Amino acid sequence: MTLQEQNLLCLVDVGAMGGLQDKWMAHAKKLWPVMIEANPVQLQHIRDRSNLFPKTTLVECALANLNGPISLWITRNPTCISVLEPNQDVLDHYGIKMHFEITGRHTVEAARYDTLCENGRAPKPDVVKIDVQGFEYEVLLGFGGLLGNCLGIELETHFYPLYRGQKLLHDLIALLGTYGLVLRRLDTDSKLSHFDGDLIEADAYFTKSRRAVRGLDSAQRTKFALLTQVWQLPPYVD
């Protein structure tokens, strides 16, 4: 890895449909996006914008806690597609349920992120963003020990199971806590209307703990400062 690459913040976007979030685009020249997307059409849209960044890595697959084929539940709304089956016991209470109606099954190739890294298909992550409709826990397991070096993780999480067998926020807090990552922010403002005013889901932001940040080198501290700026987190004060 070159010195320039080492100084770029490596942002892994899992479920990269639509491309990188707008809040990161103002800092494009400081980023190395790693876009993980199983849909080749969506990946081509992302490829067309790859010249906006000093370096971009595109990987056509799904992420999971295993390597090999994995089956998706296809839903009426493509943004609700998941490895996990929609949980109609919960969804039937809300008007949004029609978006989760099952229309078929589809098999895609899946991989653990640490395997992609070992095989040279993806770099070690600084920041991870995950949007995989209830399958976040399993995707995180697939990063393995790489989570120990992550500065931050953003993911959509749930307080009630919209998908059968899915892990909820408290499960994610426990898992990420073993890698020194703590919950810093929950964003629910854009989510309440989805479920008729009930608090069902949120965007959760985790970062290294205050103690861990004290031990970062200068390059990682610079990346952490960028992360807290983009995520609008209060800076740690020693």
* Position 3 confidence tier, pLDDT thresholds 50, 70, 90: low
pLDDT at 9 over 90: yes
Nearest-angstrom CA–CA distance, 137 and 46: 25
Model confidence over 21-64: pLDDT tens digits? Answer: 999 999 999 999 999 988 887 778 788 888 889 999 999 999 99
Quick check: 191 pLDDT over 80?
Answer: no
CATH number for the segment(s) 3-229 = 3.40.50.150
* Residue 163: C-alpha distances to residues 41, 82, 90, 128, 169 (Å): 26, 8, 9, 22, 13
Query: Helix (H, G, I), strand (E, B), or coil: what is residue 24?
Result: helix
CA 234 from centroid of its chain's CA atoms: 21
**Residue 238 confidence (pLDDT):** 66
pLDDT of residue 193: 75
Q: How many CB atoms are located within 10 Å of the residue 197 CB?
A: 9
Interatomic CA distance for residues 11 and 33, integer angstroms: 5
Share of the chain above pLDDT 70, in %: 97
pLDDT of residue 43: 78
Q: Pick the range with the lowest mean pLDDT from 106-115, 148-157, 185-194.
A: 185-194
Q: Is residue 190 scored above 80 in pLDDT?
A: no
186 has pLDDT over 70? yes
**What is the pLDDT confidence band of residue 168, given thresholds at 50, 70 and 90?**
very high
Phi (first) and psi of residue 221, to 5 degrees: -65, -40
Residue 177 predicted with pLDDT over 70: yes
Give the residue extent of every domain in the chain: 3-229
Using the predicted structure, report yes or no on whether residue 220 has a pLDDT greater than 70: yes
Cα distances (Å, whole numbers) of residue 40 to 21, 35, 61, 165? 19, 12, 9, 28
Instruction: Residue 15: name the closest of 181, 137, 155 by CA.
Output: 155
Residue 125: CB partners within 8 Å, gap ≥ 6?
10, 11, 12, 34, 113, 143, 146, 149, 150
- Tell me the pLDDT tens digit for each residue of 68-106: 999 999 999 998 999 999 999 999 999 999 999 999 999
Q: Looking at residues 172-188, what average pLDDT do you find?
A: 96
Query: Which of 217, 200, 199 is CA-nearest to residue 208?
Result: 217
pLDDT at 51: 84
Average pLDDT over residues 128-140: 96
pTM metric for this prediction: 0.94
